[in-house]
Amino acid sequence: MKTKIIIIITVFISVFTLMSCNSGNNKDTEKTEEHEEHGQEGIVFLNEKQQEALDLKLGSFEMRNLTTVVKTNGQLAVSPSDIAEVTAVVGGNVKHIKVFEGDKVRRRQVLAVLEHPDYITLQEDFAEKANNLKFAEQEYLRQKELFENNVGAGKDFQKAKSEYSTAKAKYEGLKARLRLLNISPEKVLEGKIVSTINIVSPINGFVNEINIKKGTYVDASSKLFEVTNNNAIHADFVIYEKDVHLLKNGQIVHFTVSNKPENEYTATVFAIGKEFNSDIRAVNIHTKINEDVSGMIPGMYISGHLHTDKRMTKTLPNDAIVSEGTKSYIFILDETVKPEHHEHGEDDEEDKETENIKAFKQVEVITGQTDDGYTEVKLIKELPENVKIVLNAAYYLLADMKKDENEH
């Protein structure tokens, strides 16, 4: 009897132990399945609302030169041949002003109209000198013929020649003055006398200054207008003494303009100043802007960096790179991963209603030089062609991924 009781107890213990082991194994399996169900290592999922909140930007590597860089600043400028101060040549009263400040004008376009009695007197003098010239020319030719035929005296011939030369010089001088005033000498000889003159633009450009008012008197030295050809604008930079030896024509400068700091432009060095400014111990360099210059105005402050060689390397914005310990990472869009069972928050319905959930994969990289918000990136493993890289908020993606790993 005792033997039967012992056998029954032994069987009961064995069955209980087996059930306990199976129960433990099932719990471990459930945990493993739950972990696999919630995500994969090195992957972070973001729904559409989260992407908008982070203002997530996707892009690719940018080839930049971060090898030898010289910090610099300066201002936008135009060459002396592309800026004009318009004067009256002779004094007069302002009758009409034809333009406004900021207007685009073409060469020979009328900017203002002046009037004065002196303009009439000048034209009358020119008509008189033209008549005197005709008489002097006829007398000169007559005396010349007499002298060559040994009929007239040499003294009379020389006198006629002198008077003709004087009359011609006065005629040509007044004719040139009329042309400077934009008055047609030919029309004056036809008897068409005008009391006004036109002040015209000597170049194509924009009116930067208007220094006159209607009715005011201006003299010959008065600056009436300033016209600048902004299409020929270039960038002048200051390079300090310690970096002057690195300068060469053809080098590239990346720069930003004070009124548009979000836009970056490039310029090519075409001239290096030969005069050393002892006050700031620097020289100036002149560069040609390679992009559209519309909206740029001479005198605007600019800042940038000069590349002294041409070795280009892959770079990303600093916000695209995050460090953890001694390693650096970027995130790429991984369209092969489907977040079927991913959870965010306590309410599953919210994620179910939100479309466009995307997976971003963590990729280890090696970083190099950093300059002006960009960092050199070297890949440990090659990435697919045309891969989309997260250009900002890498820190937040890493934090979100770590939070998921800790929760699961």
Asked if residues 123 and 194 have their Cβ atoms less than 8 Å apart, the reply is yes
User: What pLDDT is attached to residue 150?
Assistant: 73
> Cα separations (Å) of 321 from 314, 360, 366?
13, 14, 10
Asked if residues 320 and 391 have their Cβ atoms less than 8 Å apart, the reply is yes
Find the helix packing angle between 154-180 and 117-148, rounded to 10°.
150
Phi, psi of 203 (to 5 degrees): -140, 165
Q: Which two tokens stand for residue 333?
A: 């869009």
- The residue ranges of every structural domain in the chain are 40-65+313-407, 69-81+229-307, 121-181
Q: Which of 81-85, 226-230, 258-262 has the lowest mean pLDDT?
A: 258-262
% of the chain at pLDDT higher than 90: 47
User: What pLDDT is attached to residue 408?
Assistant: 56
Q: Which of 79-83, 339-343, 404-408 has the lowest mean pLDDT?
A: 339-343
Assign 3 a pLDDT band (cuts: 50, 70, 90): very low
Look at the pTM and tell me if it is higher than 0.85: no
pLDDT digits (tens, 9 = 90+) for 4-28: 444 444 444 444 444 444 444 444 4
Is 181 a residue whose pLDDT tops 80?
A: yes
Mean pLDDT over the full length of the chain? 83
Average pLDDT in the 318-338 region?
Answer: 89
User: What pLDDT is attached to residue 339?
Assistant: 65
How far is the C-alpha of 386 from the C-alpha of 383, rounded, in Å?
9
> Cα separations (Å) of 269 from 8, 336, 383?
99, 47, 36
Q: CATH class for domain 69-81+229-307? A: mainly beta
User: What pLDDT is attached to residue 152?
Assistant: 63
Is 73 a residue whose pLDDT tops 80?
A: yes
Assign 348 a pLDDT band (cuts: 50, 70, 90): low
User: What pLDDT is attached to residue 11?
Assistant: 41
The DSSP string of 316-376 is: EEGGG-EEETTEEEEEEE-TT---TT---SS-HHHHHH----EEEEEEEEEEEEEETTEEE
Q: What dotted CATH number matches 40-65+313-407?
A: 2.40.420.20
Q: Give the CATH fold of the 121-181 domain.
A: Helix Hairpins (1.10.287)
Q: Which two tokens stand for residue 32?
A: 């493993």
Average pLDDT in the 221-235 region?
Answer: 92
Q: Which of 27-41, 62-76, 114-128, 200-214 has the lowest mean pLDDT?
A: 27-41
Average pLDDT in the 149-174 region?
Answer: 85
pLDDT digits (tens, 9 = 90+) for 47-69: 888 888 999 999 999 888 776 77
Is 302 a residue whose pLDDT tops 90?
A: yes
Average pLDDT in the 233-237 region?
Answer: 94
Is 285 a residue whose pLDDT tops 50?
A: yes
Token match 């609302």: residue?
49
294 vs 12: which has the higher pLDDT: 294
Is 338 a residue whose pLDDT tops 80?
A: no
User: What pLDDT is attached to residue 192?
Assistant: 92
Is 334 a residue whose pLDDT tops 50?
A: yes
Q: Which of 150-154, 277-281, 318-322, 388-392 has the lowest mean pLDDT?
A: 150-154
